[in-house]
Amino acid sequence: MSDLSNYRKSYEKSELLETNIPDDPMNLFHRWFHETEEFGGEGEVNAMTVSTIGLDGFPKSRVVLLKKFNEEGFVFYTNYNSEKGKAITENPNICLSFFWHSMERQVIIKGIAQKTTELDSDNYFDSRPEGSRLGAIVSPQSDIIPSREYLEKNLNDLEKQYQNSEILRPKHWGGYLVKPVSVEFWQGRANRLHDRIRYTILENFEWKIERLSP
């Protein structure tokens, strides 16, 4: 058994105060995202954890890439027939989380996922490299397969099939827009007295801002 009780770090890089935050969480997310992008040195700033409630009743988390965010919410793309996609169909209430360790920051978003328009999915699919487009077609995501060779053979066959043809988006692949109902911003502070500010959407579509104890 590995004892990790001595793994400690003092967080002292920044602060999160009610006097320096906007009324809308998307504006603060935009600020934090670009500060991390410019100064944080993160490999993939847009890497986020998506948590769903599976058909077996267990929560499951996995890392995917955020591809767009705006005043409506957060967009990522996946196979709708995957374990993740089936879970969202059954229960669209999901959680997104970002951990930017270089900036000592976390963002936790509870929201409701809905499919993006087919046009949005088509446009993003068409922007992907050819290999990624073929990969989306050839992979029966989350299904049990016999071997790695099975995937590679199917990909080789598909490359020949589409050698002189346009690669169109399969209908089972596309985007999700996650509309936030709450967004929590976490800034590491000294002595484990971290700053936690939570935005919660109200019925009039304004945001309630609250400080949470660390």
User: Is 105 a residue of the active site?
Assistant: no
CA atoms within 13 A on the CB side of 95: 14
Structure token pair of residue 190: 């000294």
Q: pLDDT confidence of 1, banded at 50, 70, 90?
A: confident
Structure token pair of residue 191: 């002595």
How many Å apart are CA 173 and CA 140, to the nearest integer? 11
Domain residue extents for the chain? 18-125+172-212
Percent of the chain with pLDDT over 90: 86
How many Å apart are CA 30 and CA 45, to the nearest integer? 12
Structure token pair of residue 169: 């988006």
114-171 pLDDT per residue, tens:
999 999 999 999 999 999 999 999 998 989 999 999 999 999 998 999 998 999 999 9
Topology of the domain comprising 18-125+172-212: Pnp Oxidase; Chain A (2.30.110)
Nearest to 138 by CA among 128, 149, 152: 152
Q: pLDDT confidence of 11, banded at 50, 70, 90?
A: confident
pTM of the predicted protein model: 0.91
Which residue in the list 31, 192, 198, 211 is annotated as catalytic?
192
For the segment 66-85, the average pLDDT, to the nearest whole number, is 97
